[in-house]
Amino acid sequence: MQADIVSSTMLIFCVCALLVSVCQSLPIVGWIQSPGYPHGYGSDISETWKRCAPPGHVLSLRLLHLDLEESYECENDVLKISEDHNLLANLCGRMTLEELQSSVNPSLRSSSGGCLSLTFQSDYSNTERHAGFKAFYTTQDVDECWENDVVCSHFCHNYIGGYSCSCKPGYYLDEDQHECRANCTEERYGAGVLKPPGSPGPYFENADCLFSLSVDEGNQLELKFTGVFDVESRDGRCVDFLKIKTDTETFGPFCGKNRPADILTAAQHVKVIFHSDLEGTNQGFSLEYKPKGMECSGKVTPDSTVSPVRDRYQVGETVTVRCVTGYVLIDSTETFTSTCQLNGRWSPIYSCEPVNCGHPELPDLMDLTEDNPQTLYEHTISVKCSSEYYKLDGNANFTCDATGEWVAENRQTFSQHTPQCVPVCGITTESARKRIFGGENATLGQIPWQLLVKEPHRGGASLINDRWAITAAHVVENQRSLIFAGGMVNARAKEKVEMQTEKIIIHPGYKKPNFDNDIALVKMSSRVPLSENLIPVCLPEKKTNGPTMEGKMGTVSGFGATDKRIKSPFLQYGHVKEYPGFCFQSNLKVTDNMFCAGDADGGVDSCKGDSGGPLVIPLLGFGSLNTPYRLKGIVSWGPPVCGNRDYKGYYTKVENYLDWIREMMEKN
């Protein structure tokens, strides 16, 4: 009895399952009509119907009757048909079946597995009775194989509710169930001939083949292409290709019609990779492979040479390895020895690494032009000064040499001939062309090398670089330290740069009461902050054979007296020229270390308080990058009365002391 019940249950289950399967394959059909059809619909009706097609099917709607109130843009009574948010039809008025069939029904079709929505609305009143609408819907199977968005590599098969792809013999269907790929992954051992799938004849399209070849230990694979070689290429590029790989080397890719040369792989295991695209009728290749006694290649490690030199080495042979120029072994040894092994590899193997010059130690005020430049062999670096008030003295560009040094084009090394950033001299941002006694007030930036010392006696000096100033010996004699001020034109100005002195060096030939060798150097205790208002003056390039001022007008400046007694709070300047012979009659001895200068009318002259200050050429306002201002004289001594047309002032001849100046600055 129990067995009969089980059998009956199973029978009912099977029938139900069969009915479900049959039902799913049958089309869905039905009618939709407006309320009251065909006797007329009422007022203020709003009703929506939604019908959907199962997967692999479309829903098709056919209007058989349409009789609604006519209105502008169907704003009164309306039948709207849409798929999702896409409106397919907006209908009202009366249309015959022929009109519906020709203009409306063809568009009432859903997408595969999509839904159609019908919305019927009537307004508050109708002046006459309208029957409404009636529609018939049904589902239809979609033939996906004819749809544009369905692509099967080889064959497409439609069935009710879907489709499937299949492949030609020798191919398999990829995971995407659409693309067909050649079935060509193999492992082979020993000797044989390798051809692409489809050979003889055009090889298969869409192939990604991997052939793994192996031989016994102590042997290597020898490869030889025979017969026709025809792998598709286009405009010199490989469309299809053949590539051969070992653990240490890759041969190819090969394509075109030129047969590749024989390959001795020096490997026990080799992978042959073949790729083709989706088209072409090329014939392919024939590759013979066979074992041969193992040898090692003539290359042990990159960037090295071996001795003795041969293309191939037998198992057990030993070579000496040396890194090429610019590369070194990690342990700093020059060479190592390596032996050819049964597997065709060398042992031991050490890497030759490129020489690393490292980042150079830069002097003050210097930067690299790049933030993080490469520092390996044959890479280059460039240096620059970090301030516009300095210029580079020396080489700017260096290359990492095999010695580990940064070397310039002239073979000078960075470490031995380190470039320096030296102050720009003799260049002003301001210039004037006006006619110190009888002079004019200077403006900021016109005479940026002018310095002032107030105590214990007022005097002047000239900045000659960012650590040193030059002045008259009698201004700084008997002083251990002084404070100089610069970067201003008003002696009372609060905004000025004060410089504490570290060392005062008076010329050893200076002795009172004579003013011969009236020159001194002053070293500041720290680097002077250069700016457009504080820039050094250039020293003379060399000693002249003719007139000290080279026949040019010059400019003298200072904070000294502007008449017979009053000292100026403002920096004054005036233009003077050199006079041969004596300036005035005096008991003091005039030497070749002095020269006389002044104004022809006596209206411009240096005076008390100007001592130690500069006399420069060219005339203020005529300096340039090619003609910087150079210090020709230092205000030294003069007549008891300033500004007398019959008397001129004496200046220390700076060009006579160039060697002494350089020597003192180098030693101190």
Question: Binding residue per annotation — 123?
Answer: yes
Give the dihedral of Cα atoms 242, 246, 247, 248; nearest 10 deg.
-90
Question: Binding residue per annotation — 44?
Answer: no
DSSP code of 353?
E
Question: Binding residue per annotation — 125?
Answer: yes
The catalytic position among 67, 401, 518, 610 is: 518
User: Residue 659 belongs to what H/E stretch?
Assistant: helix 658-667
Tokens coding 139: 């589902």
User: Residue 658 belongs to what H/E stretch?
Assistant: helix 658-667
Report yes or no: 214 and 188 within 8 Å, Cβ to Cβ: yes
Question: Binding residue per annotation — 141?
Answer: yes
Q: Which residues contact 9 (CB under 8 A, 6 or more apart)?
A: none
User: Residue 390 belongs to what H/E stretch?
Assistant: strand 390-393
Question: Binding residue per annotation — 516?
Answer: no
SS (H, E, C) 542-560: CCCCCCCCCCCCEEEEECC
Question: Binding residue per annotation — 144?
Answer: yes
Cis amide leading into 200 (omega within 30): yes
Question: Binding residue per annotation — 430?
Answer: no
Residue 649 has φ and ψ, to the nearest 5°, of: -105, 155
Question: Binding residue per annotation — 599?
Answer: no
Give the dihedral of Cα atoms 420, 423, 429, 432; nearest 10 deg.
-140
Question: Binding residue per annotation — 201?
Answer: no
Tell me the CA end-to-end span of the chain in Å, nearest whole number.
125
Cα(217)–Cα(463) distance, rounded to whole angstroms? 82
Vertex 436: Cα angle to 433 and 440 (nearest 5)? 35
Cα(471)–Cα(454) distance, rounded to whole angstroms? 14
Question: Known catalytic residue: 103?
Answer: no
Burial category of 403 from C-beta neighbours within 10 Å (exposed 0-12, middle 13-18, buried 19 and up) = exposed
User: 83: alpha, beta or left, given left = phi > 0 and alpha = psi -120 to 50?
Assistant: beta
The catalytic position among 34, 297, 611, 636 is: 611
Report yes or no: 53 and 28 within 8 Å, Cβ to Cβ: yes
The catalytic position among 474, 557, 575, 606 is: 474
Question: Known catalytic residue: 208?
Answer: no
Question: Known catalytic residue: 611?
Answer: yes
Cα(358)–Cα(77) distance, rounded to whole angstroms? 87
Question: Binding residue per annotation — 277?
Answer: yes
Question: Binding residue per annotation — 371?
Answer: no
Binding-site residues: 69, 77, 123, 125, 141-142, 144, 158-159, 162, 232, 240, 277
Q: Annotated active-site positions, please? A: 474, 518, 611
Binding-site residues for Ca(2+): 69, 77, 123, 125, 141-142, 144, 158-159, 162, 232, 240, 277
